[in-house]
Amino acid sequence: MKYWLVKTEPDECSIDDIAKAGDKGMVWDGVRNYQARNFLRDMNVGDHVFIYHSSCAKVGIVGLAEVTEEAFVDPLQFDPDSPYFDAKSNPDSPRWSAVRLRFKQKFQHLLALQQLKQMPALAANPLVQKGSRLSVVPFQVKEYQAVLQQLT
DNA sequence: GCCAACGTTGGC
DNA sequence: GCCAACGTTGGC
């Protein structure tokens, strides 16, 4: 099993929205960065995924989800009405992928970016590095465990 | 709203 | 292949 973190703007899709989606989970689409896409494609069913709220008042890790469907073609890239439409994506070899995520839990407290930056276990993680804009971030087992420990 | 840092595009 | 210009991300 692998561990990840995905960023989301709570105005668009918050941890509560993921919770509301229930057991069917929700399609995690709209990723338009190659490095992030490649990480999406590395996800396997059962992997754990931290949910991180970005571009908002309370930035940080808010909950946990799991992968319920491995990478498939992101439909929005072929939808001209979508902000995620990509005219240059070839249907014979689609550029962008999506996964399906299902809610596991919402943490009682936010683990703020400020706190994450102070954790030695996360020092090497792209999430806390200056200028990093990666929206899908891999977590090492020890990084994952350190986050969970910080939450208890 | 500001702006630093980054990724992508496209001319050459 | 270089690199300037541009658009986007995301913390503050």
Cα–Cα distance list, A142 to A80, A84, A152 (Å): 42, 34, 16
Condensed to tens digits (0 to 9), the pLDDT of residues A46-93 reads 999 999 999 999 999 999 999 999 999 999 999 999 999 999 998 889
Q: Which nucleotide is closest to A55, CA to C1'?
A: C10
> Strands A97-112, A26-28: parallel, antiparallel or unpaired by DSSP?
antiparallel
CA of A136 to C1' of B9 (A): 23
Residue A15 contacts residue A117 (beta carbons within 8 Å): no
CA of A91 to C1' of C12 (A): 40
Which protein residues have any CB–strand B distance under 7 A?
A 33-35, 88, 130-133
What pTM was computed for the model?
0.94
CA of A102 to C1' of C3 (A): 43
Condensed to tens digits (0 to 9), the pLDDT of residues A80-123 reads 999 999 999 988 899 999 999 999 999 999 999 999 999 999 99
What whole-number distance in Å separates Cα of residue A66 and Cα of residue A69?
9
What whole-number distance in Å separates Cα of residue A144 and Cα of residue A131?
22
What are the structural domains, with CATH classification, of chain A?
Answer: 3-151 (3.10.590.10)
Phi, psi of A11 (to 5 degrees): -65, -30
